[in-house]
């Protein structure tokens, strides 16, 4: 099974183990519509509306003053997806005295994988943190709510928490700056504070959410350095081992307000996309070894057949986890190779554009000299019209919005063309994908201008290769495909995916087969964006029928 969520914290209540277990049991009973979770027992039931098979187990062991508890809820739906929520809690001695550790995991597996899942903390974690006392993970306080830091002293205090080398979990810091935030939060639906609260509850136990006002933001940026600061309603994910002296701000991604404030759930998705792997692979503290031994000793008193069954289950789980790790490693390697290829292609493209720019500057300089010689007025000068098109797009959704607002004369993005843009925008690569999509849309619009004005036109590939237009798209197999492979064409399911919506001026049926597409990224796996299009010389326009993740346009390699 794949670990989707993991939280660990300490709770200084005297009877924390009992209270944590009681909270889990109450949550279990509510989730299973009345089942009770008892010591050393396994319970199960088949539920209706929605249809679910549920199972629960509880083991508790004591030795002197040491306590160890393990409880689990398993949910299996008709689609074959299996979800398991597990609580481990145990007492441990530390320099500060005796405390209780809590560890909650959410794991899942399914026939088609779990890539579509929205990751969030179980509600029971919010309840445990809300009822706990001095709940924290090392030097970092963990709450069920966002913690606000106000004024310069608040900013300095937060800087100490973030730069503490004992901090082992990521943290999210959100900048409260109403003049900017109000532009993106529709007041009738939610405000900045609602986004902060929603995000804190989604990330509870795994990633603490801190909010700074303007004065605290200035103090925080001053203490950590401007490159590591947060300001102007943006938010920042601070990874552990923050060292301002090293100057590595890219390790702690900054998210602009237009990327996360337009949707209440987007901030938590961005954070989990950035730090999910580090959260789910966290190791328990050394004191867990004693708790596990205590539970194992208690379990060994049972029947030997039960012992063998449990060992077999654990061995199967370990093998599954090993396979998942190997698959993740392969995906990471593919992503790295793709990113390297993208970088090399961008360097090549930049070099080419620089050479063309130099040639254009020399040509303009020569023309200016010749026109000045011919002009009667020595003060005569020439000015080149500036393009009114924006240069940048910070997200895929913004790229679409800009295309519809500025490129409509020669580029038509169908209303049903866009799919899962929020998944693209919450990915770590979201801003760069948005910018490249905007570059692609501008290239397609420029090609539309060519179609509308040229008596004999070239296809898009050759236009990009030969026209020397400043907005051409790279005409390489890594970035552009004009046709699909025979294996895709001959596969009914794959071919049907490419029957895409189009304006009825192009096809009376409103759909047409589109094979030509821009490859926005060669890295990113099944999430790598694609833009499918159809050019019409008769109408002098390019029509986009699909923009979204590669996973919806499968081929024989996926």
Q: Above 50 in pLDDT, residue 386?
A: no
Task: For residue 364, name the pLDDT band (cuts at 50, 70, 90).
Answer: confident
Is the CATH code 3.30.530 the one for domain 1-135+284-301?
yes
pLDDT for the residue 278: 82
Please state the domain extents for the chain: 1-135+284-301, 138-264, 391-552
Residue with tokens 């036109």: 457
490 secondary structure, DSSP code: T
Q: What is the mean pLDDT of the chain?
A: 85
Q: Above 70 in pLDDT, residue 229?
A: yes
- Return the percent helix, strand and coil in the chain, to nearest 5: 45, 20, 35
Each residue's pLDDT tens digit, 395-416: 899 999 999 999 999 999 999 9
Each residue's pLDDT tens digit, 287-310: 888 888 888 776 655 545 555 555
Q: Where are the alpha helices (DSSP H) in 186-303?
A: 192-202, 214-224, 257-260, 266-280, 288-300
Q: Quick one: what percent of the chain has pLDDT higher than 90?
A: 51
- Tokens of residue 323, six digits: 């396979």
* Mean pLDDT computed over 178-186: 84
Instruction: Give 522 or 157, the one with higher predicted confidence.
Output: 157
**Interatomic CA distance for residues 247 and 262, integer angstroms:** 30
Q: Above 70 in pLDDT, residue 216?
A: yes
Each residue's pLDDT tens digit, 334-349: 556 556 556 655 656 6
Q: Quick one: what percent of the chain has pLDDT higher than 70?
A: 83
Q: What is the 3-state secondary structure (H, E, C) of 104-172?
A: EEEEEECCCCCCCCCCCCCHHHHHHHHHCCCCEECCEECCCCCEEECHHHHHHHHHHHHHCCCCCCCEE
Angle, alpha carbons 199-204-205 (nearest 5°): 150
* Count of residues in the chain: 558
pLDDT for the residue 332: 63
**H/E element, 68:** strand 66-76
Lowest mean pLDDT among 45-59, 73-87, 305-319, 541-555: 305-319
Each residue's pLDDT tens digit, 415-426: 999 999 988 988
Each residue's pLDDT tens digit, 30-56: 999 999 998 877 888 888 877 889 999
* Mean pLDDT computed over 506-534: 91
* Mean pLDDT computed over 106-126: 83
pLDDT for the residue 224: 92
Q: Is 220 helix (H, G, I), strand (E, B) or coil?
A: helix
Residue with tokens 């993208």: 342
Each residue's pLDDT tens digit, 455-466: 777 899 999 998
**Interatomic CA distance for residues 429 and 384, integer angstroms:** 35
**H/E element, 492:** helix 492-497
* Mean pLDDT computed over 81-98: 87
pLDDT for the residue 49: 77
pLDDT for the residue 429: 83
- Tokens of residue 392, six digits: 């940048």
Q: Above 70 in pLDDT, residue 267?
A: yes
Q: Above 60 in pLDDT, residue 75?
A: yes
pLDDT for the residue 45: 86
What values do phi and psi take at 136, rounded to 5? Answer: -165, 165
* Mean pLDDT computed over 328-336: 62
pLDDT for the residue 380: 46
Is the CATH code 3.40.30.10 the one for domain 138-264?
yes
Highest mean pLDDT among 277-286, 321-330, 348-357, 509-518: 509-518
**By C-alpha distance, which of 102, 109, 150 is closest to 126?**
102
Instruction: Give 456 or 282, the one with higher predicted confidence.
Output: 282
Q: Above 90 in pLDDT, residue 319?
A: no
Task: For residue 385, name the pLDDT band (cuts at 50, 70, 90).
Answer: very low
**Interatomic CA distance for residues 33 and 124, integer angstroms:** 15
Tell me how far the alpha carbon of residue 451 is from its chain's centroid. 38
pLDDT for the residue 468: 86
Greatest distance between any 2 Cα atoms in the chain: 107
Task: For residue 330, name the pLDDT band (cuts at 50, 70, 90).
Answer: low
Highest mean pLDDT among 166-180, 258-272, 296-310: 166-180
**Interatomic CA distance for residues 187 and 190, integer angstroms:** 5
């Amino acid at each position: 099974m794949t670990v989707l969520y993991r939280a660990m914290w300490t709770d200084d209540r005297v009877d924390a183990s009992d209270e944590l277990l009681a909270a889990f049991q109450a949550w279990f009973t509510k989730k299973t519509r009345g089942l009770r979770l008892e010591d050393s027992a396994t319970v199960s039931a088949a539920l209706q509306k929605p249809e679910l098979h549920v199972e629960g187990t509880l083991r508790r062991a004591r030795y002197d003053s040491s306590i160890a508890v393990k409880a689990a809820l398993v949910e299996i739906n008709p689609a074959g997806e299996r979800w398991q929520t597990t609580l481990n809690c145990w007492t441990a001695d530390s320099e500060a005295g005796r405390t209780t550790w809590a560890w909650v995991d959410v794991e899942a597996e399914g026939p088609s994988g779990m890539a579509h899942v929205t990751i969030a903390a179980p509600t029971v974690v919010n309840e445990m943190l809300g009822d706990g006392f001095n709940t924290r993970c090392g030097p970092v306080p963990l709450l069920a709510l966002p913690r606000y830091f106000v004024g310069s002293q608040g900013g300095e205090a937060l800087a100490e928490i973030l730069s503490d080398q004992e901090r082992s979990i990521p943290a999210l810091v959100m900048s409260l700056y109403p003049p900017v935030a109000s532009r993106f939060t529709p007041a009738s639906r939610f405000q900045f504070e609602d986004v902060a609260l929603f995000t804190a509850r989604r990330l509870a136990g795994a990633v603490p959410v801190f909010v700074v006002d303007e004065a605290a933001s200035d103090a925080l940026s001053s203490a950590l350095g401007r490159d590591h600061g947060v300001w102007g309603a943006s938010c920042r994910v601070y990874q552990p081992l923050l060292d301002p002296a090293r100057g590595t701000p890219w390790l702690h991604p900054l998210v602009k307000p237009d990327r996360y404030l337009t949707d209440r759930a987007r901030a938590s998705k961005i954070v989990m996309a950035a730090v999910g792997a580090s959260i789910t692979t966290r190791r328990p503290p050394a004191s867990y070894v004693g708790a596990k031994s205590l539970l194992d000793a208690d379990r060994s008193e049972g029947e030997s057949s039960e012992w063998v069954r449990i060992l077999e289950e654990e061995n199967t789980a370990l093998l599954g986890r090993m396979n998942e790790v190997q698959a993740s490693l392969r995906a990471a390697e593919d992503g790295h190779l793709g990113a390297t290829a993208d970088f090399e292609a961008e360097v090549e493209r930049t070099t080419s554009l620089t050479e063309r720019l130099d040639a254009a500057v020399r040509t303009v300089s020569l023309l200016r000299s010749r026109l000045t010689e011919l002009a009667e007025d020595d003060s005569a000068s020439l000015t080149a019209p500036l393009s009114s098109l924006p240069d940048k797009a910070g997200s895929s959704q913004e790229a679409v919005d800009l295309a519809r607002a500025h490129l409509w004369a020669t580029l038509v993005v169908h209303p049903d063309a866009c799919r899962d843009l929020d998944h693209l925008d919450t990915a770590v690569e979201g801003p760069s994908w948005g910018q490249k999509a905007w570059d692609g849309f501008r290239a397609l619009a420029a090609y539309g201008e060519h179609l509308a004005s040229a008596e004999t036109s070239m296809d898009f590939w050759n236009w990009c290769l030969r026209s020397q237009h400043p907005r051409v798209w790279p005409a390489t197999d890594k970035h552009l495909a004009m046709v699909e492979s025979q294996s895709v064409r001959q596969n009914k399911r794959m071919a049907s995916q490419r029957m895409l919506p189009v304006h009825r001026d192009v096809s009376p049926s409103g759909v047409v087969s589109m094979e030509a597409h821009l490859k926005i990224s060669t890295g990113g796996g099944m999430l790598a964006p694609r833009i499918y299009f159809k050019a019409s010389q008769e109408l002098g326009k390019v029509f986009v029928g699909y923009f979204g993740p590669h996973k919806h346009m499968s081929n024989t390699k996926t």
